[in-house]
Amino acid sequence: MRRLTLIAIPYLWLLALFLVPFLIVLKISLSDTAIAIPPYTPTLDLSEGWAGFKAFLSQLDMENFTWLTQDDLYWKAYLSSVRIAFISTILTLIAGYPIAYAMARAAPEWRPTLLMLVILPFWTSFLIRVYAWMGILSNEGLLNSLLIQIGLISEPLTILNTNTAVYIGVVYTYLPFMILPIYSALEKMDDSLLEAAEDLGCSRLQAFWLVTVPLSKQGIIAGCFLVFIPVVGEFVIPSLLGGSGTLMIGKVLFEEFFNNRDWPVASAVAVILLLILIVPIVLFQRNEQKQREAEG
C-alpha cells in the first residue's frame, strides 16, 4: 500500500493538473463558435451519458483543426515560435555555459554565493523584470543613453519592439534554467581526468573539448530542453518586448481567446501546440531515464 500510495500521488497530480484540463480544452476545440457565455456550443453533452457520447462520435467535427491548415497565420506562428525558441536556446547556451563553468571551477566557499546570485532574479516578479527591460531598451532608455554618452552611436538604436529585444528578454529570463543543470553536471566532474588528459599530451583547450564538454553533455541537454519547451509557448516577452512585429503562437493564442473570443479555434491552437511540445518532452524524459540508468 505504501508503494501504491507513492506511485499514485504523482499520477493523481498529472490527472488533475494536466489530463483533465487537456480533455476540457480538447472538448472545446471540437465545439462550435456561438454568441453566448461561454462563447461556444459543446458537441459533447456528458449529461446524456453513453448515448450522448455515441452521438458525439457520429457527428465528430474537425472543422477548427482544418481551419488552422487553411490560414497561413497559424502555421507561420508555429514555425516562427520554434525558430525563435531554437535561436534563443543556442544564445542561452552560449551565455550560460561559461558562467556555469566558472561557478564549478570557483573555490568551494564561493559556490553557494554564486549560486544564490544566479537564483536571485527569481525573487523579483517576472513581469516587473520584463517591464524593466522595456525601460532599458527603449529609444530613450538606459542602453541608448549609455551608448550615446560614450560615443559609440550618434542616434538611438531601435531595439524595442524587434526580435532582438525578444532574444534579449528570453536569454535574460531563462538563463538560470540553462546554468543550473550545467553547473550541476560540471560540479560532479573529477578534476583528475583533466590532469590525466594533459599528462597524455592534450592542451587545456583540447582537454576541455575532449573531457569537460562530453561529461557535461547531460546538463547541456537538460538545460536546452528546459529553455526550449517554455519559450515555444512564451507570451509575455514577445508581447511586451517584441510588439506587433513579432509573431509567436502564444500571442496568437491570447488574441483568439480574449480579442476574437473564438474559443474553439483557440483551443485547437492549444492542442496542436501541446502535441508539438510533447516531442521534446518525451526526448527529455528519455534522456533523464538513460542518465539514471547510467548512474545506477
Residue 239 belongs to some domain of the structure: yes
Q: What is the CATH number of the domain that holds 271?
A: 1.10.3720.10
pLDDT of residue 64: 85
pLDDT of residue 10: 85
pLDDT of residue 257: 87
Average pLDDT over residues 12-41: 84
Q: Among 37-41, 82-86, 142-146, 235-239, which is the least confidently predicted range? A: 37-41
Evaluate whether 242 touches 130 at the Cβ level (below 8 Å). no
Backbone φ and ψ of 33, nearest 5° = -70, 140
> Residue 103: CB partners within 8 Å, gap ≥ 6?
111, 114, 115, 118, 179, 183, 186
Q: Tell me the residue range of the domain where 94 lies.
A: 70-295
pLDDT of residue 32: 81
Residue 22 belongs to some domain of the structure: no
Residue 78 belongs to some domain of the structure: yes
Residue 37 belongs to some domain of the structure: no
All 3 cell numbers of residue 48?
Answer: 446524456
Evaluate whether 176 touches 118 at the Cβ level (below 8 Å). yes
Residue 7 belongs to some domain of the structure: no
pLDDT of residue 259: 86
Judge whether residue 7 has pLDDT over 70: yes
pLDDT of residue 295: 67
| Dist. CA 200–CA 43, nearest whole Å | 70
pLDDT digits (tens, 9 = 90+) for 215-273: 898 899 989 999 999 999 999 999 999 877 788 999 999 888 888 888 889 999 999 99
Residue 11 belongs to some domain of the structure: no
Residue 38 belongs to some domain of the structure: no
pLDDT digits (tens, 9 = 90+) for 47-100: 666 666 666 665 667 888 888 888 888 999 999 999 999 999 999 999 999 999
Q: Is 243 exposed, middle or buried (0-12, 13-18, 19+ CB in 10 A)?
A: middle
Q: Mean pLDDT of all residues in the chain? A: 87
| Dist. CA 216–CA 235, nearest whole Å | 31
Residue 43 belongs to some domain of the structure: no
Burial pattern 209-228, b for ≥16 Cβ within 10 A else e, equals eebbeebbebbbbbbbbbbb
Judge whether residue 42 has pLDDT over 80: no
Split into its structural domains, the chain has a count of 1
CA angle 128, 177, 90 (to 5 degrees): 105
